[in-house]
Structure 1
């Protein structure tokens, strides 16, 4: 036994053997590195070791891969939702614009029709917008956005792209009231385009019907005949379409036949009309004059 206080020989031998083993391992590692550097003999060994540890590497990396994939999926889903929402808003805006475009195209077609009518008319004309319509079913009256400031006068004729619409009955500074040719208190001198037969078309209160009460049973008129303005009375331009005959009923034993016609103008759909001036006449010459008052 060793005396107390003296180092034991076994511990010294263990330390020495560990040092020797470390030195041998270091020399072996250096020799392997030099050997591999020169001839690359350990490449195969590294490949085998890489294959052996691959499952461990996959197992260690699996949680990180799953987390990364989930994060990317969540980000992609949020991006897709945001993109879908943006596309939905753009689609709604595009649909709104397309609806407005259809309205504008229809409006442009109406205005082109009015301009074509303007080119045919020899008189000065002005486009007016219908801003209000009388809701009384027995009155065919409406207001336009032109008045004394635009030179509008009482008795002035109104036309649309298809034919005669009516005439002005009351004028304000910036607006005017008009009566349609189908109003029950309105009458319009017309002639049959086929043979020149003159008569008067009277309103019925129905926007789709006119009556010709002053034609005899022997009058040369038939279904489908076109009625045009005769120019009598100096209000409506000569030769503009007014209505087309729908029904002719002879009434034996009475003086006059029952003749019904349909207006050619879109009285219940018009949004714009044409105000017409006769260059050969002063407005004062027709102020307050209506065909119905002349008949009476």
Structure 2
């Protein structure tokens, strides 16, 4: 029985034919550049597919680059804020030292201000009780924080450590009604005591005699008495003075210099222990 359709060329013949056609096309394309326009059309048709295929990779690269840049910017911003806080605190100390040097010229027996250790802390939470001005920071006993430790910001005194936990601590702000701090007037050195009023923008200066030389605009700084706060750090500025002779004491109100309602970063201070050197007599006795 004869087949209806005859078989075509064999596979070997087809392969040879295809190879010959390919060689001819390569030759004409290389020598005569006959397919440049065709190649351009084909490339134009394929280019959208190439863009679509590369789109996921480009999106991933863009996302990774932007996330890395954002994280780096946030980290650098935090470092700059910490450095600014340290520099401002050093500027405060330089002003204190300059004033002390002028006093040391007239009083050679005046003690030299000891160096202090400093650490930057960040606020974790603010106490929601309206009658208690306390905040929580991210430093604790593991960072050598202790109760009663002074806390400042880049402008002045903020408060002191009330309770120290392992990894965080509670700070009692100077505006709290239970807080009191010994001060002196920067202009004339008169010693005073200020307590919190429950208002973050107001301190009450207690037991001020009518004869005390105090004026509106005077800067109140720490006196160093009590041993908790180093001497000379700014605390408040006098905003109101009323000397009514019908009262036992003058009424004096001051405003904290530190921006207590805008705190984010602050400094913890450690007084460095003074190195004790053995006297020649003690050294001779030991021998």
TM-score normalised by L of structure 1: 0.59
- Which residue does 1:231 correspond to in 2? 224
Structure 2: 5+ residue stretches without partners: 1-34, 94-113, 276-287
SS in 2 for 1:162: coil
Counterpart for residue 250 of structure 2? 256
Residue 122 (1) aligns with residue 103 (2):
no
Q: How much has 1:230 moved relative to structure 2?
A: 0.6
Paired residue for 2:181?
188
1:13 maps to which residue? none
Partners of 1:86 and 1:209 lie apart in 2 by 58
Question: Of 240, 249, 270, which residue of structure 2 is paired with 1:276?
Answer: 270
Q: Aligned residue for 2:152? A: 159
Instruction: Work out the CA distance in 2 between the residues paired with 1:85 and 1:173.
Output: 47
**CA drift at 1:99:** 4.5
The structure whose residues are more often helix, as a share, is 1
- Cross-structure match for 1:284: none
Indicate the SS of the match to 2:75: helix
Contact 2:216 2:241 in 1 (8 A): no
Compared CA separation, residues 80 and 240, structure 1 to 2 (3 A): same
What is the rounded CA distance, in whole Å, between the counterparts of 1:82 and 1:226 in structure 2? 68
Q: RMSD between aligned alpha carbons?
A: 3.6
Displacement after TM superposition at 1:89 (Å)? 5.9
* Contact 1:213 1:259 (8 Å CA) reproduced: no
Q: CA deviation at 1:238?
A: 0.6
Are the counterparts in 2 of residues 216 and 257 from structure 1 also a CA contact under 8 Å?
no
Match of 2:81 in 1: 110
Give the Å deviation of 1:256.
1.7
Deviation at 1:236, TM superposition (A): 0.2
C-alpha separation between the residues in 1 aligned to 2:66 and 2:216? 45
Q: Which protein has the larger Cα radius of gyration, Structure 1 or Structure 2? A: 1
Partner of 1:285: none
CA-CA distance at 1:210 after TM superposition: 2.3
Q: Which runs of 5+ in 1 are unaligned?
A: 1-60, 282-296
Q: 1:236 to 1:94 in 2, by over 3 A?
A: same
8 Å contact from structure 2 (residues 123, 265) kept in 1? yes
Counting only pairs closer than 5 Å after superposition, residues 80-99 of structure 1 correspond to structure 2 as 80=51, 96-97=67-68, 99=70
Give, in whole Å, the separation in 1 of the partners of 2:210 and 2:63.
61
1:98 CA drift (Å): 5.0
Q: In 2, distance between residues paired with 1:226 and 1:101? A: 40
* Contact 2:196 2:202 (8 Å CA) reproduced: yes
Task: Give the number of equivalent residue pairs.
Answer: 217
Alignment check: 8 A CA contact 2:131 2:198 kept: yes
Aligned to 2:47: 76
Q: What is the DSSP-based 3-state SS (H/G/I as helix, E as strand, rest coil) of the residue aligned with 1:228? A: strand
CA distance in 2, matches of 1:264, 1:150: 24
Distance 1:115-1:77 versus aligned 2 partners, 3 A rule: same
Counterparts of 1:23-38 in structure 2, within 5 Å, are none
Distance 1:224 1:100 in 2: 44
Q: Take 2:53 and 2:194, find their aligned partners in 1: how far apart are those partners?
A: 65
TM-score (ref. length: structure 2): 0.60
**Partner SS for 1:183:** coil
